[in-house]
Amino acid sequence: MASSLTKDSALPGTPGSEKSFFGHPRGLATLFMTEMWERFSYYGMRALLPLYLVAPAGLGLDAGTAIAIYSVYVSTVYLLAMPGGWFGDRVWGPRKTVAIAGSVIMAGHLVLALPTAGTFYFGLLLVAVGSGLLKSNISTMVGHLYDGPNDPRRDGGFTVFYMGINLGAFAAPLVIGTVGQKVNWHLGFALAALGMALGLAQFLLGSRHLSAKSSVVPKPLDVAERNATLRKSMIWLLIAVVFYAIVVGTGTYTLNWVMVPLMVIGLVVPVMVLARIKRDKELTRTEQSKVSGYIWFFVAAAVFWMIYDQGGSTLALFAEKNVDTQVFGWEFPVSWFQSVNPVLVMALAPVFATVWLALNRSDREPSTIAKFSGGLVMVGISFFVFLLPLTAADGGAVSPWWIVLIYFCQTTGELMLSPVGLSVTTKMAPAKYASQMMGVWFLAVTAGDAVTGLLSTYGVDLNKTSVVAAEAALAVLAGVGVFMYRRKVKELMGDVR
């Protein structure tokens, strides 16, 4: 790392301005490494999760229950990103929140590493809570490193930071997946804890290079607000404790008593948040119009993530049973397929950026709506492709290249929709809700995964050809529908393009 640190002509007063990390403030190296190791732990555990849930030496669950648990877990991570941002803004400040989050995530992985089924779900809960706390706040601290939104290095800094995410996501299945599948499941989870420990150590040791703003609580709770928040939290906690005590005491408790409420919350919360923003009388007519336009993008994104996130559950379980994982007589762990997407992202992201720039110069760059439509169509095509090996699997193991092709289609869709979604969220957000709208964007993932979880919970076989075909058709039709109504959406968007 030292070889990449050079003298910098950074703006005076910028944190770490005496040195740079690839031309950026030195603090970016701290956040880059923290995020890389956190993603290493998260994606490593995620690659193992559905396989462990169905393995005879794991929890031995059926595929439907495993997909539901996986979907609830991912949904909860993104659901908690919004309260995580609230804690950073109102209670601890971003830096302290990230330090606490890293500790909670590490503790969660250590609990998962215990060879007892009874503690497993508690470990998952800890990792979900920690990830939610960390997700919004570490991105906020990247922004603090620069001299406002007009700093010319800002976009490049987030690009470098994004590479850290994908490096961690790429390495995790290869290391954690191999150890978990080939040696011991719980040792794999322990490696995820080690990854988070390294990230936390990197963060604490390098925190002196971060901006002083990262330690500030932007809008601290006053005494009355703090007391009211504690009182409401305790009331809801008491209600939950009493309810589940009754359920357990009457002998009617099953895992669905936890999963179904979480999935319903994952659907209800996004609707409530968007409805609250839409009803706000303080918003101007232009802002109201933009919120109405944004709802189109939100629903489209929810459909996209509903299919995309099945790459770690439905596809992973299909590959476990039906894909030939031997190359020249050597068998690789099926969890390695989870490294395909981050490799493709790192390879294709510069290509997409170059193409968009070239088209922009000739005034032919597709609109935001067109890119969104393209993303939906591509994720739909990925599941139409999935139908081919799904059908062929009845005659034996299919080629692993089918899985690679499916991930390729999904990644191209991701690069058309995800970065554009982040950008349009910041552009269409009412000034009053500038920060909260980023949490709203994450809620699209929550909604999509909640739908997947509910379908699995109530007996829908997501690896059935008719279901895969229906999901593929839904995504393509949604993409075509958004494109057909592009003029109406453009009108609602106002001056945003």
d(CA 401, CA 336): 13
| pTM summary value | 0.88
User: At 12, phi and psi to the nearest 5?
Assistant: -55, 140
Mean pLDDT of 437-452: 89
Q: Which residues pair with 6 in a beta bridge?
A: 20
More confident residue, 19 or 261: 261
The per-residue pLDDT for 19 is 65
Structure letter (DSSP) for residue 10:
P
Our CA dihedral for 68, 122, 98, 223, rounded to 10 degrees, sits at 110
Sequence length of the chain is 497
Q: What confidence tens digit (pLDDT) does each residue in 223-233 have?
A: 999 999 999 99
Least confident among 86-100, 161-175, 197-211, 348-362 = 348-362
Check: CB of residue 80 under 8 Å from CB of residue 134: no
Evaluate whether 120 touches 112 at the Cβ level (below 8 Å): yes
User: Of residues 454 and 155, which shows the higher confidence score?
Assistant: 454
Report the SS3 class of residue 152: coil
Average pLDDT, the chain: 88
pLDDT for 478-489, tens place per residue?
A: 999 989 988 887
- The CA distance from 103 to 130, in Å, is 8
Among candidate residues 156, 103, 89, 110, the one with its CA nearest the CA of residue 131: 103
pLDDT band for position 149 (50/70/90)? low
d(CA 58, CA 73): 17
Q: What is the pLDDT averaged over residues 434-460?
A: 87
Average pLDDT over residues 50-71: 93
- Taking 70 as the threshold, does the pLDDT of residue 1 lie above it? no
Q: Classify residue 479 as exposed, middle or buried by CB count within 10 Å of its CB (0-12, 13-18, 19+).
A: buried
CB of 192 within 8 A of CB of 10?
A: no
* Cβ atoms < 10 Å from Cβ of 382: 25
Tell whether the model's pLDDT for residue 3 goes beyond 90. Answer: no
What letters, b where the CB count within 10 A reaches 16 and e where it falls short, cover 44-83? bbbbbbbbbbbbeebbebebbbbbbbbbbbbbbbbbbbbe
Q: What local confidence, expressed as pLDDT, does residue 150 receive?
A: 67
How far, CA to CA in Å, does 5 sit from each of 9, 21, 29, 274? Answer: 12, 5, 9, 44
User: Distance between CA atoms of 366 and 289, rounded to whole angstroms?
Assistant: 22
Which segment of 78-92, 104-118, 165-179, 423-437 scores lowest on mean pLDDT?
423-437
Q: How far apart are CA 159 and CA 146, in angstroms?
A: 14
Coil, helix or strand at residue 13: coil
- Determine the pLDDT at residue 22: 72
Residue 435: what pLDDT?
64
Q: Is 348 helix (H, G, I), strand (E, B) or coil?
A: helix
Residue 396 has pLDDT above 50, yes or no: yes
Average pLDDT for 55-69: 93
Cα 27 to Cα 217, 305, 461: the distances in Å are: 19, 32, 47
- Three-state SS at 423: helix
Within 10 angstroms of residue 389's Cβ, the number of other Cβ atoms is: 22
Stretch 341-370: mean pLDDT: 89
pLDDT digits (tens, 9 = 90+) for 310-320: 999 999 999 99
Quick one: pLDDT band at residue 2, thresholds 50, 70, 90? very low
pLDDT at 244: 92
Confidence of residue 496 (pLDDT cuts 50, 70, 90): low
Is residue 53 scored above 90 in pLDDT?
yes
